[in-house]
């Protein structure tokens, strides 16, 4: 079973409709279970619910052979932790789905690192579906030193060096 999720915050009809139509057209042959959020589009070719309680969400995630999702960092991190193959489609500002394109940047970066298969169009989705059975996401490793350097750089920018010498 492929688990389609749009997350819990915003609807994502463009993704749900694309996957549902691909199921109807026979492009996706595996069963799809969808968590569609508060969107207007109602799938015709796969079982769906609007929202799942956390325990049921986790159970569906665990049962899934793969995940198709928005490019939310929480869903991506969950898939990587579980070793699940994941395909992501970013919400985009141009479609009024977000106020900026941070999900496009997330999808691009995680795809470049081999963690996800990213798509934006039906053709890219179909190509990703052909790759999905053999796709093994690259493991994600924490970069504690890089994070510490970034925090140090930020603090140095926020606090001039002579502030450390100030008296209370």
The confidence score (pLDDT) of residue 126 equals 96
Structure tokens at 17: 């409709």
The percent of the chain in helix, strand and coil, each rounded to the nearest 5, is 45, 15, 40
Q: What is the CATH number of domain 2-141?
A: 3.40.50.2000
d(CA 60, CA 48): 12
Listed range (23-27, 100-104, 145-149) with the worst mean pLDDT: 145-149
Listed range (67-71, 139-143, 155-159) with the worst mean pLDDT: 139-143
Which pLDDT tens digit goes with each residue over 37-47? 999 999 999 99
d(CA 90, CA 70): 5
pLDDT tops 70 at residue 154: yes
Average pLDDT, the chain: 89
Listed range (33-42, 68-77, 88-97, 109-118) with the worst mean pLDDT: 88-97
Q: Are 35 and 72 in contact (CB under 8 A)?
A: no
The confidence score (pLDDT) of residue 111 equals 96
The confidence score (pLDDT) of residue 98 equals 73
């Amino acid at each position: 079973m492929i688990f389609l999720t749009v997350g819990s915050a915003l609807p994502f009809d463009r993704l749900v409709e694309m996957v549902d139509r691909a199921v109807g057209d026979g492009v996706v042959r595996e069963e799809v279970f969808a968590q569609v959020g508060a969107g207007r589009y109602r799938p015709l070719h796969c079982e769906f619910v609007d929202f799942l309680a956390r325990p049921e969400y986790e159970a569906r995630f665990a049962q899934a052979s793969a995940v198709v999702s928005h490019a939310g960092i929480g869903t991506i991190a969950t898939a990587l932790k579980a070793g699940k193959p994941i395909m992501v489609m970013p919400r985009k500002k141009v479609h009024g789905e977000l106020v900026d394109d941070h999900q496009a940047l997330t999808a691009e970066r995680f795809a470049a690192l081999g963690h996800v298969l990213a798509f934006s169009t039906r053709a890219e989705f179909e190509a990703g579906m052909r790759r999905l059975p053999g796709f093994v996401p690259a493991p994600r490793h924490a970069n504690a030193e890089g994070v510490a350097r970034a925090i140090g750089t930020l603090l140095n920018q926020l606090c001039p060096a002579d502030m450390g010498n100030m008296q209370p």
